A and B are shown apart, each in its own frame.
Chain A
């Protein structure tokens, strides 16, 4: 296997992602749909960038292209100084394997296998031995605080736990960039906050994060917001007052854990009745 060296940060403001005039055109019969229409964008190392836009604005298409899951119809894309359009499918797969970690709205875990084996999945394709895989996967699960759930299958986990497994999978090969496509879209707001706190922590630890979302309060956890509309960039701004998910969560938690327990005790009349209910 040919190794693609990890992107090295040469200068402080070196763009890790550099796209120029990217278009993506879908054909549906005679109709031509421009999902992306001349998008140019630079993303530097150690950024936390949120791509916003209504549904159909092309934000997921943009994400898929910079995440090397799809190829643009035209335009140039340099990832860590390398022209992606010149890479073979094999090399693209290696880029996805080693430089990119993906987190999806629908988690995209394999249902048949345990959390640990889901996390191990990228390592299988990088040729690690079973022993090394297990060690790295356990470390990644520890980073997302899910060590105790390693042997559970996805359907035995809650939505937030599944997303954390997916994040552990994205992290496990120590990628240069973390992509997240509506990572909180399928979660309740409290769990979503948990996930955002995790992303902020990872960012503080040095990860570059690109996130797609249509919710402003989620986007505000990032450092930079890009607005997309009809396949074009309509705004690119720095976030002035960044939301700190951990803080919000703490203030919520203080209030509600106690309340919740009291409420549960009040509304659980007897053990037998509750069992009948379920």
Chain B
């Protein structure tokens, strides 16, 4: 029997048993739809995480006091400004660096007051954490050197203090000192990686907080962040910083006093977790496809029993066993491909809605579509063969004797 004939027969049968075919197709449809939705959403998730990390660049590295190696009441050794100058001067490829000092201060403007976190950050901070300035400008190294009292506001605190006025150029009080607002940032959304600031944060040059924290004495650092041009510079930096710090401060009971962490190692970790999640989810989707396949098998077995007479008639006019097998397998595959095809549309629809809501990038690759169709065909083949073989094993006379 030619494939074309088999296809024609299949469509006749599907038309003739609309409800049943519809339900069977639905089974495969859900399985494939799940698979498509999951892979597309998974890809979009990965992409969003990737672009999130890409925003900061995975070429960031930070060094911080390694608390886990200290006893709880032991005095911590902190980094001082000489260490910082060493980092700034002897590490090649550095494109930004800085530390963060944060403190809870009272902020007020014309009677409006708020208790919020004030970030003491260096000018590089805005670039390193990709903080967009929406209005005005960020503070620069020049402002820091001239000890200008300037600040940059996040949107929520800005609208809280300035209900009807434009904040730029106005003076606000931070812990009883006047600061001029010179910039407003974009709104931050929930992200995987952040500097810890939120939409209520006020940024001021770090010296103001650091000086106050250290009582006017030498500023010490818990943590210091650096960003480099590429990962090779990160490697060099990691090596040199470790050697420098261990050499200068010595080890603590054989352990390092400072921990150096790289963003790209976090990226790898996130990737690993994503892989585990995708695998789990794919297993679930695969199970749902197999369940759909069993549905196909069930329906085909019913069809074989129900159409035994037809099989007998076909054999009586000259159909061979393989003709019968081919016919039923084609029928199963057609059901599966229709189910798979609509499943692709269904799954892509769900994924696009999910991506729209989550603001992820919707990507549907041809490989996924073809893969889903290939899987459907395979399922049709696998689960269609047994019923088809069973159908072909009858003697024509036995098949003809079957009741309708």
A interface residues, Cβ below 8 angstroms from B: 64, 67, 69-71, 89-90, 93-94, 96-98, 102, 104, 108-110, 112-113, 121-122, 124-127, 130, 169, 173
Query: Which of A67, A96, A113 neighbours the largest number of chain B CB atoms within 10 Å of its CB?
Result: A96
Q: How far is the CA of A126 from the CA of B1 in the complex (A)?
A: 8
Q: Which of B311-329 contact A (CB under 8 A)?
A: 312-323
Q: In the bound complex, what is the Cα–Cα distance between A96 and B13 (angstroms)?
A: 25
Are the CB atoms of A70 and B323 closer together than 8 Å?
no
B309 within 8 A of A: yes
Q: Is the CB of A121 within 8 A of B321?
A: no
Instruction: Please measure, in the bound complex, the distance between the C-alpha atom of A102 and the C-alpha atom of B399, giving whole angstroms.
Output: 15
Query: Which of A109, A110, A130 has the most chain B CB within a 10 Å cutoff?
Result: A110
Q: Are B309 and A70 in contact (CB under 8 A)?
A: no
Is the beta-carbon distance between B400 and A93 smaller than 8 angstroms?
Answer: no
Interchain CB contact (< 8 A) of A93 among B2, B310, B312, B318: B318
Q: Are A70 and B314 in contact (CB under 8 A)?
A: no
Please name 4 further chain A to chain B contacts, defined as beta carbons within 8 Å, in addition to the given A93-B315, A96-B317, A122-B317, sorted by A numbering: A90-B321, A93-B321, A112-B12, A112-B16
Q: Is B57 among interface residues, defined by CB-CB distance under 8 A?
A: no
Q: How large is the interface on B (under 10, 10 to 19, 20 to 34, 35 or more residues)?
A: 20 to 34
Expressed in whole angstroms, the minimum distance between the Cβ of B279 and any Cβ of chain A is 45
- Is B287 an interface residue when CB atoms closer than 8 A count as contact? no
Q: Is B384 an interface residue (CB 8 A)?
A: no
Q: Are A64 and B397 in contact (CB under 8 A)?
A: yes
- How far does the alpha carbon of A104 sit from the alpha carbon of B312 in the complex, in Å? 12
CB of A94 within 8 A of CB of B318, answer: yes
Nearest Cβ on chain A to B320's Cβ, whole angstroms:
4
**B317 contacts A70, C-beta separation under 8 Å:** no
How far, in angstroms, from A97 to B395 measured CA to CA in the complex? 15
Residue contacts A-B, CB under 8 angstroms, 21 given: A67-B316, A69-B316, A69-B400, A89-B320, A90-B320, A93-B315, A93-B318, A93-B321, A94-B318, A97-B319, A98-B318, A102-B317, A109-B313, A110-B310, A110-B313, A113-B12, A124-B1, A125-B317, A125-B320, A125-B323, A130-B4
Select the residue from B13, B313, B323 with max chain A CB neighbours within 10 A.
B313
Which of B317, B322, B397, B400 gathers the greatest number of chain A CB atoms within 10 Å? Answer: B317
Chain A residues within 8 Å of B314, by CB: 121, 125
Chain A CB within 8 A of B156 CB: no
**Closest A residue to B320 using CB positions:** A93
Answer yes or no: B143 CB below 8 A from chain A CBs: no
A109 to B312, CA, bound (A): 11
Which A residues are in CB contact (< 8 Å) with B315?
69, 93, 96
Residues of B within 8 A of A (CB): 1-2, 4-5, 12-13, 16, 309-310, 312-323, 395-397, 400
**Chain A residues near B1 (CB, 8 Å)?**
124-125
B316 touches A102 (CB 8 A): yes
Q: How far is A274 from B109 in the complex, measured between Cα atoms in Å?
A: 97
A96 to B400, CA, bound (A): 14
Return B399 CB to nearest CB of chain A, in Å. 9
Which residues on A sit within 8 Å (CB–CB) of B400? 69, 104, 108
Q: Across the interface, which residues of B come within 8 angstroms of A70, CB to CB?
A: 395-397
Residues of A within 8 A of B2 (CB): 124, 127
A113 to B2, CA, bound (A): 18
CB B15 to nearest CB in A, in angstroms, measures 8
Q: How long is the Cα–Cα vector from A124 to B323 in the complex, in angstroms?
A: 10
Minimum C-beta distance from B365 to chain A (A)? 38
Specify which chain B residues have a CB less than 8 angstroms from the CB of A124 in the assembled complex.
1-2, 5
Residue among A64, A93, A121 with max Cβ neighbours from chain B (10 Å): A93
Q: Which 7 A-B pairs have the closest CB atoms?
A: A97-B318, A93-B320, A122-B317, A70-B397, A125-B318, A69-B397, A69-B396
Q: When the two chains form their complex, are residues A69 and B395 in contact, meaning their CB atoms are under 8 A apart? A: yes
CA distance in complex: A50, B315 (Å): 24
Contacts of A109 in B (CB 8 A): 313
User: In whole angstroms, how far apart are the Cα atoms of A125 and B321 in the complex?
Assistant: 11
User: In the assembled complex, which residues on chain B have CB atoms less than 8 Å from the CB atom of A127?
Assistant: 2
Question: Which residues of B are found within 8 Å of A108, using beta-carbon distances?
Answer: 309, 312-313, 316, 400
A102 contacts across to B, CB distance below 8 A:
316-317
Q: How far is the CB of B342 from chain A (nearest CB, A)?
A: 23
Please indicate which of the listed interface residues B2, B309, B318 has the most CB atoms of chain A within 10 Å of its own CB: B318
- Please give me the residue from chain B that is nearest to A71 by CB atom: B395
Residue of A nearest to B13 (CB): A112
A90 shortest CB reach to chain B, Å:
5
User: In the complex, A110 Cα to B319 Cα: how many Å?
Assistant: 14
The docked-state distance in angstroms from the alpha carbon of A94 to that of B317 is 9
B313 touching A96, Cβ below 8 Å:
no
- Min Cβ gap A127→B in Å is 8
Q: Say whether B395 contacts A122, CB under 8 Å.
A: no
The CA-CA distance from A113 to B310 in the complex, in Å, is: 12
What residues of A have a CB within 8 angstroms of the CB of B13 in the complex?
112
What is the minimal beta-carbon distance from A87 to any residue of chain B, in angstroms?
12
Please indicate the chain A residues that have their CB under 8 angstroms from the CB of B318 in the complex: 93-94, 96-98, 122, 125-126, 173
Residues of B within 8 A of A89 (CB): 320-321
Minimum CB distance partner of B313 in chain A: A108
- Rounded to whole angstroms, the CA-CA distance of A30 and B320 in the bound complex is 33
- Measured CB to CB, the nearest residue on chain B to A91 is B320
Nearest CB in chain B to that of A122: its residue: B317
Instruction: Name A169's contact: one of B309, B317, B321, B395 (CB within 8 Å).
Output: B317
